[in-house]
Chain A
Amino acid sequence: MPNAFSPDTPPPALSPAQQELFVRELNAAHALLLRYAMSLVGNRHDGEDVLQRASVIMWRRFGEFEPGTDFVAWATTVVFYEARNFQRVAGHCRLKFDDDLMKTLAAERAQHVRQWPARVTALQACVEKLEPMQRNLVEEIYTRGVEAAELARQEGRAVQTIYNKLNFIRRALAECVQRSLTETHL
């Protein structure tokens, strides 16, 4: 792994071809990198934050990337360091992952995450099996981006009630996706 990446690194003078390559590679890897970041910081919001910071660093350091080599491997390294920095900044992250655990997660996740498309396909089939009320909740929280607290306020419920329902749905989906992948040997 390279040394820690710094956002203070001066921006490179990338050629138009390099700029084009960067955009293409980053866009193609975006969904994978978000998943990778999320598993290191524990939630989507922080994962997006980390990926956004890492993207800027990648842009600044892209001159060091060798075309034809594995962009995902290079990018996940950048995201890893950014996630570790994120964890270290007080108040940024509630997780208490030490360096050993971060490295373990990063090493396993780097391979695991490359199969994410198959898991999305399984997830879609599992979502279809949810009850209508559960699908509505998924739509509010994930598709429309309504915060659980706001939804609770709108419905006159305690936020914990929303969380309890979400927890049940996440567990059901995790088990369903896992069953599906096991059946298809993925």
Chain B
Amino acid sequence: MKTEYPRGWHALFNAALNGELTEVDSERLAALLQSSSEARQLWFLYHDNEAGLAELPSPAELIPQGTAEAKASSRWFQWRPLAAAAAGLVIGLFSATVLASYAMSSQEKTVTLLRGGFRIRTRAFGHRRAPASRASRSGDYTAVVGEQTPQGVKPASGRRMLHFLRADYEGKAQPEGSYFSDVYRLIDLRPYRATYGDGGAVVQLSGSFNAFHFPESERYGCSMSLYALDAATATNGSTRHGAELRESLAMARNSRVMLDRDPKTWQRSNVELRLPPNTDFLLVHISVDHANRDQRRVTFDGHYLDDVRLTLGRRPLLR
């Protein structure tokens, strides 16, 4: 397949994608695709790209390889260069929706770090476990999906939700025995140190979980965790090996939510963490797990997450 094509082919394909085909254009398009194998290949590629663009992370967040470190301090959410990533749908864990809604007095101001109908996104294919540097996010196999009609699961808000697929990630040495499906996000809080540097700020994480109808004998737990990390811990790779609990400055977890068997209901979970003054990064960890020992397996069939919100707000210490 060649890499350059007649301009008219591109014009026709774009007109189709834009919904601008005239009657004549439509006939020309059909004739072209009928007669040219190369045109058909390019037509397919256009549609692959069209679908892929809607699945990729926010393009504004993509960082050219080699420049991630230099830019990391200037952005809330950073993405690892993905060119070297394993094949697969690669989109980011959390959206770039940052609503800096400072207002009111300094005692009350709040920053919404994450919010959206479904503004959490992840790769559908492979990557390692916890993020290892300030420019990364990671987790197990997941996918972003729309409404799941046959199963009766609709997004809690918006049109998309996260589907937990497996309890392992590409390249995991021994996936057997895994039964937690995890997603992570590492967030650089240093630009907001003035908000929490006196120990007077709290981050709050909330999200909604759901599952399609599953056997009565099975139980599924949901967990949301927050870890406050210093820069050294966040960037030395130790979190990649699961050391976030041991090496964090502070952590909080809510693992009390168990999924019900009604796909029409979303179950909300919340957790909050007071940030130590020397916090540099916040690690967000959300998971679903097989709660019964005898049901444990690496796959998850219909378990979803939506409407994730993360806010940073002032709540002064009691004196």
Contacts and interface: CB of A to CB of B under 8 A. Distances in A.
Interface of A: 16, 19-20, 22-24, 26-28, 30-31, 34-35, 38-39, 42-44, 47-48, 52, 55-56, 58-59, 94-98, 100-101, 104-105, 108-109, 112-113, 116-121, 123-125, 127-128, 130, 132, 135-136, 138-139, 141-143, 145, 148, 163, 166-167, 170-171, 173-175, 177-179, 181-182
A56 B150 contact: yes
B10 A130 contact: no
B14 A182 contact: no
B45 A119 contact: yes
Nearest to A142: B53
Q: Which 10 A-B pairs have the closest CB atoms?
A: A59-B150, A135-B59, A167-B14, A142-B53, A117-B87, A125-B83, A38-B47, A42-B16, A39-B47, A171-B10
B93 to A, nearest CB: 14
Given A98-B30, A104-B40, A42 B17 contact: yes
B27 A175 contact: no
Nearest to B54: A142
B58 interface: yes
Contacts of B27: 96
B108 interface: no
23 contacts: A23-B301, A26-B150, A27-B145, A30-B143, A38-B51, A44-B54, A52-B147, A55-B149, A55-B150, A96-B29, A104-B34, A105-B43, A119-B48, A120-B55, A121-B83, A121-B90, A127-B59, A130-B59, A135-B62, A139-B60, A148-B18, A163-B18, A174-B45
Contacts of B30: 95-98, 101
A99 to B, nearest CB: 11
Contacts of A128: 59, 62-65, 81, 83
Interface string B269-313: 000000000000000000000000000000101100000000000
Interface string B32-54: 01100100111111111111111
A186 to B, nearest CB: 9
A115 B32 CA distance: 24
B19 interface: yes
A177 B88 CA distance: 14
Contacts of B95: 143
Interface in B159-213: 159, 163, 165, 212-213
Contact of B45 (A56, A139, A143, A178): A178
B78 to A, nearest CB: 13
Question: Size band of the B side of the interface?
Answer: 35 or more
Interface of B: 1-4, 10-11, 13-14, 16-21, 26-27, 29-30, 33-34, 37, 40-60, 62-65, 81-83, 85-90, 95, 124-125, 143, 145-151, 159, 163, 165, 212-213, 215, 299, 301-302
A123 B53 contact: yes
Contact of B10 (A16, A125, A148, A174): A174
Nearest to A58: B150
Contacts of A148: 18
Contacts of A139: 58-60
Contact of A135 (B14, B42, B60, B163): B60
B14 A163 contact: yes
A170 B17 contact: yes
A182 B4 CA distance: 12
B90 A119 contact: no
B150 A22 contact: yes
Nearest to B21: A94
Given A23-B212, A43-B19, A135-B59, A96 B52 contact: no
Contacts of A35: 44, 47-48, 51
Contact of A123 (B21, B52, B125): B52
Contacts of A163: 14, 18, 20
A27 B52 CA distance: 16
Contacts of B4: 175
A180 B176 CA distance: 35
Contacts of A127: 53, 56, 59, 62
Contacts of A48: 146
A175 B53 CA distance: 15
Contacts of B46: 170, 174
